[in-house]
Structure 1
Amino acid sequence: MEKKKTLAGRKQPNVIPLPIDATFFFERAVRSLDRCQYDKALKYFRKAAEYEPNNPVNFCNLAGVLSEMGNYGASNEVLRQILEDIDPTMTECYFYLSNNYANMDDFESAERAVLLYLETDTEGHYLAEAEEMIELLSYELGRDIPITFVKSRAGFFEHDKARQQLEEGRFSEACRNLERIVASHPDFLAARNNLALAYYYMGLFEKAMDTVQEVLNREPGNIHALCNRAIFYQQAGDAERLEEMLELLQKTYPYHSDNLFKLATTMGILGDHEAAYRQFKRLLLSGEDHYDTGLYHYAAVASFNTGRFPEARKLWKQAEKLDAKPEIARFFLNLLDSEQTAGVFLSYHYHLPFEEQFRFYEKNRDLFSLSMKNDPLVRSSFFWALRHGDLHTKLQVIQALSAIADQEAEEALRELLLNKEESDYLKRIALFVLRGMGAGEPLEIVLNGVAQMVPAVPYTPGLPVWETEWQTVLELAMQHMRRSYDLLQQFDLETLWVDYLTQLHPSKPRIGKVESWAASLEYLTAKMHRKSVSCEEIALRYGISAATVSRNAKRIDETCGLQRRAEEEDQDRSLGSGILGLL
């Protein structure tokens, strides 16, 4: 009898179990996406999220498909669910939200979302895309997007701000910011190098050298630190150590453009113009273009300083073409055409020579005149700027010429008085300076297109005479103000005094004590220029009572209507604005 086959004895087939989990649905969702089957992909991503409800990636994929299908509102709901309930650290969701809002034409919400992305995301994977988004939103909203912090560039954003402060001469602020950056990011060597510069500019030489050494301890071949050390040695007059640094730098051949640029400018500052020329030429030949006009200027300076004048001309002509404000290149091209090239060495700064002197003038006015007389290139640049600069620059030049006060300065100012194309306001300032310099009569000036002779006293067409006691008041006020007020503020005081006397004519003020009127004029001028002074302070300096200052100031104010004018012009207090309306 044949035996029955039992179930246990039956041959089992090869069965491969198929796991049904999140990965299973994820893979099918991806295949569906490859075939542009968005409905199926959406279904599979939903299933994947059900199997792994705590995995933010599944929800992110789900939001992405919804966005691709144009369902931006539903996509945003999923993204907010991720940030609020599943994983708040998945900060790239803010960037996805921004994209969705932009597609919905909700640009305000898109702005908030992209800024949140920049402020919270540590990786910065979408940093470039976020910058493009901000550019788009700025265009759509018709305004700039205020970026205050970029977390993925922690320290870099603040570092850029500190660098700007250094360039603007705000050394204490830059120092404090750089110290905070270095404390938070000890390996941020660029910040350490700039901190060394900040210490150096503040006169803290030992701290500057110590900071440079800290950089070199971490990275012995750091080009910026080596260059800074060499410059510090030069300024300290340490010839032996400077020679060692020069030998080292002359053997250094960096390939990174930033390092190459730093080395080139340093060699120029140290006086090795041949080495600077070679390095700048390397940069030009490398095809790097992010230095733009400046690089052509620096290479032209190196060419000039090594006597390669034809090459310098070619490079400055290229800079002139590239620069939206080509005045700098034109100045140096004009210099090449002059006879002032012999023995002249230009500095490696992309500005006109007189601009550096303006900063020097503000810091040390006593040494300014001596510096000007010893540098013919800077002198010529001042006279060039007086002819070709904008109004602000010309005002600065006139103030500088008032400090020089020599025959050449007087001739330049007299020439300006006769220029029919120049503004009458500027001519009145120049006239004021000429009188202060003691320029002799006759003084000829073209005002409102009409040439006329004016006396060497305040120009007063509304007054038949200029009395001696009025001049005494003016001279006393100027004597007290010379150290604490700039040229335009002094000019405003004179204009105020002239206006008061003209408005009062044919009546005349009873002068009595000259000090009381001079003090009142200074007090009103200080107030017009937002200087923090009191009647008591000024009265003390003039040796009179505060009540006297206040009383005369009130008389002048009532006659000239200063309070009313101040209210009308409160929103437009530009250079020389104190009583511009009187001109």
Structure 2
Amino acid sequence: MEKQNVKDRQHATKIIPFIQTGEYYFKKGLKTYRQHDIYKSIKHFKRAIELEPNEPMFLCQLSVALTEIGDYVLSNQYLTKIIDEPKFDMPECYYFKANNYAHLGLFQEAAKHAEWYLEREPDGDFVEDAEDLLDLLRLEEDDDEVSANHQDELIVKQEHAREFLETGRLDEAVTLLKEIIREYPEFWSAYNNLALAYFYSGDVENASEILDEVLSKNPGNLHALCNSLVFLYYQRKNQQVKELTRRLSFIQPMLFEHRYKLGATFGLIGRHDLAYKWLRNLQRSGFEGDETFYYWLSYSAYFTKHFDVAKNAWKRVLEENPSKKGSAPWESDSTKPISDVLDRWLTGDFIEERLYGLFLASKTNSALARKDLKHIQFHATLEQEFANYVLAKKKKSEKIPSYIIDGYNIADTLFTQNKHDDSANEELYLTWLMIYDEAVKRQFNVSNWQAWAAATEYIWRNHVSRTITQQQVAEKYKISKATVMKYVKFVKELLH
């Protein structure tokens, strides 16, 4: 009888599926917003909008949260979506935009939107606030009203241009940016965006000319330098990429925006060590980035063996964009066989990558790892001689120059000293092989293996924020501190 009752209850039970609607995420967003967890509330509001993109209350609440964290430009973009749709009828959005414009210093636009709000809703909830804002704005007025109008007009136009770029309306972006440059010939941001518009549309020549113009007039413009690096990378101008990467690697920017630009640029060209340095630095400083930020952080962390950071960052990517599922760095690369990994290095764009591929091949016991080396077309004598040494199974021969044996053994010394250290990675060996290439060109003596290895490790570890003293590295390699100091100077000279 008991069995029958259980069976009856099973038939009577209905499974009610849990459907996560836009309303569900909106309520979660409101709850976290009231708990002053603004960043989490923004995530929930964005998810609500993904599920119900035409709900004006969701858009409006997200804009309010964005104002809280100081993202006034993006807040206004969401408010504009509401205002541009007559059926939504939410005049308070004019006041919210006025408030944002005031924060941005666009006082003319702020006053205009506050007045529009009062016209449309003279008895609204924000009437007193709008009037107070107008009183405050009148106090800010000065005799230079024409200049203020021009500044407002400039920034509004720049906002529109950026929106055109982000939505792929490149012809409109080019037209508007050219207009801005004619009116404001020293507004460098417009030049950089115009270069990007040309580049996205396939006009690389015009894009490069624009950046050359910026850098001739404003040589330290970081955005122009980073964009130049990306353009050179896609044009496979490897030597220029290498030189500009070195220059940018020594820059120490203060602004979050510049650190982000550097980190994302280094990530895009495959310099994961440098990308991780800046993106992780931003995260530790409390920076709350977007999907793109966490994408590059995850990739740079994974390829520098910071696997926990990579996985946590990838979770943030999927929260923002679930369609990225299946494209994590470990899902796309970690399952490759050793032959594929070697092929990636042996066919790399830079000589240090190809030398590292040869060194890696020498460290495998697989015949497969070396079977194709005889047929690879190397770009330089140094690579061919290095390959000959690896193929000779590292036997000393009169045909093998001593600097080839020395260069290999310095890489091997670094390997021996760091093979049990999880913080060491391929970038350490790439750093040495980059130094080695320059040392051979400039006929430096590289016979002191321990000294060159110690100096390389000292420079590398301090460059990627893993501090080590010259005394510590001297003890590790069993040489004097004075010798370390001497060879550190050599390394710095070669890197510069």
TM-score for both structures, normalised by structure 2: 0.38
Which of 1 and 2 has higher RCO (CA within 8 Å, sep 6+)? 2
Q: Report which of the two has the higher share of helix.
A: 2
TM-score for both structures, normalised by structure 1: 0.33
